[in-house]
Structure 1
Amino acid sequence: MSVAKVIEFSSSSTKGVEDAVQSGLKKVAETVKNIQGAWVSETKVITDSSGHIKEWRVNLRITFVVE
């Protein structure tokens, strides 16, 4: 029998959503083993006063199998 756990965290990037997700997963993988998948549960942008995007932020839920 396997047991899975879900953790939630936030990540950001000035390049885009995909980069925010990739860099977040890479950072989590430094300490969490057996990652099985991730859900982007929320996407947010930070803008300047003229409406140009300065930063992308994502909230992720990561599932991993507990050893």
Structure 2
Amino acid sequence: MSSTTVARVTTITARSPESFEAAVREGIARSHQTLRNVSGAWVKEQKVECTDGEITSYQVALEVTFVLDD
């Protein structure tokens, strides 16, 4: 008999003053604190915020996948 897996996808946003990579890492770490069985994420959107011609923050929208408990 084969094992069936059911997963759910939820969208979150994360922001970092350092980089897109840091924003992704923060988003995954925070997701892991709230959701069980986080198995991956897709970067859906990237955005920067600027002040006086300088980037002040990096933001990502993540589609986080987590496997539902049996």
- Asked if these proteins are the same fold (TM beyond 0.5), I'd say yes
Computed over aligned residues only, the root mean square deviation of the Cα atoms, in angstroms, reads 0.7
SS in 1 for 2:18: coil
Aligned to 2:41: 38
Letter in 2 for 1:21: V
The answer to whether the Cα contact below 8 Å between 2:16 and 2:57 also exists between their aligned partners in 1 is: yes
Letter in 1 for 2:40: G
How far does residue 32 in structure 1 lie from its aligned partner after superposition? 0.7
Identity %: 36
Runs of 4+ more than 4 Å apart: none
* Unmatched tracts of structure 1, length 5 or more: none
Aligned to 2:25: 22
Distance 1:41 1:2 in 2: 23
Distance 2:45 2:21 in 1: 13
How far does residue 17 in structure 1 lie from its aligned partner after superposition? 0.3
* 2:9 aligns with one of 6, 19, 23: 6
Say how many residue pairs are matched. 66
Larger Rg: 2
